[in-house]
Structure formats: C-alpha cells, structure tokens
Amino acid sequence: MTDRPRAIAHAMLTQALAGEPIVAPALVGADLATAAIWLRERAAGVLSEALRPHELLDLITMIFESEHPALPEQDARSRVGTTWQYAAALEVATAELAGNGRQADPITVANLTLDPDGMLTALAELTAHLFRLHDGPGARAVVRALRP
C-alpha cells in the first residue's frame, strides 16, 4: 500500500496549519478513505492528549462558525452554525472523543461521497486548529514530524 494518501493528507494539514489555501487532492475510493482516516487519527491523538478536549472542540466550533457560516439553505444538514462539511468534521472529532471513532466511519464515508474535497478540507482544518490550540507555537514542528 502506498503512502500517497497519507502524504496528501499531511500536505493538506500543513497547508491548513500555515493558513494557506488547501489544494484539492482529487482522491477517490480507498485512497480517499485512507486520507480521511489519517486526519481523523491525528485529531484523535491531539484530543486524547489534551487536558480539556471538550473546550478545544468548543473553541473550534466557534472558529468554524465565524470562518464558514452556514447559509440558510445549508443549515438543514448542520447542527451548528457552520456548513455541513465542517459540522460533519466536528461530529467525527466528537465521536473520537467519546471513544466511538470507528462508529463514525460509515458517516464519514457517506459525507466523503457527497463532497470528497470539502470533507477532507474540513478534516484538515479541524486537525490544524487542534494542533494550533494544543501545541501553540510548536504546532508546525509537531506536524512536520508526522510526515508519512
């Protein structure tokens, strides 16, 4: 199995952490799922190390609501005031925090099917925010060390 999907997910995370536009990866099938799982696992790792993981997710919810507000016609899929892709990424992180990450996989796959690039971007931004809030100025070095 190639590390290409993980390398692409790492590049997306690095771009999100740097505040750069995230390049759409054009992944499909197993590669798409591998990239999403890699990002989810990195987010889960930060949450498991955090002293106050729920507060981290609350902060990220506020960030997403301000950066990616839901349009009225999009709000039906979103439980928070952000677009459904970012709300879905938050659901994945919340499931991880509750120890139910594997149960979130079918939901993640369904959302990846609807908008692959949007979901991977949302997962990359969520994970970047987690590293930024958890590791502060050292976040870039931590993420660099994760390179597959």
Q: What is the pLDDT along the chain (148 residues), one digit of tens a residue?
A: 468 899 999 999 999 999 999 987 888 888 988 898 899 989 989 999 999 999 999 999 999 888 888 766 555 554 556 788 888 888 888 888 887 766 666 777 778 888 888 899 999 999 999 999 999 999 888 888 888 8
pLDDT at site 101 = 66
Question: Alpha-carbon distance 124 to 121, whole Å?
Answer: 5
pLDDT at site 1 = 46
**Residue 24, CA distances (Å) to 1, 59, 116 in order:** 22, 26, 9
Q: What are phi and psi of 31, to 5 degrees?
A: -65, -40
pLDDT at site 109 = 73
Question: Alpha-carbon distance 22 to 124, whole Å?
Answer: 9
pLDDT at site 42 = 93
Question: Alpha-carbon distance 53 to 26, whole Å?
Answer: 31
Closest by Cα among 88, 3, 74 to 43: 88
Prediction pTM value? 0.86
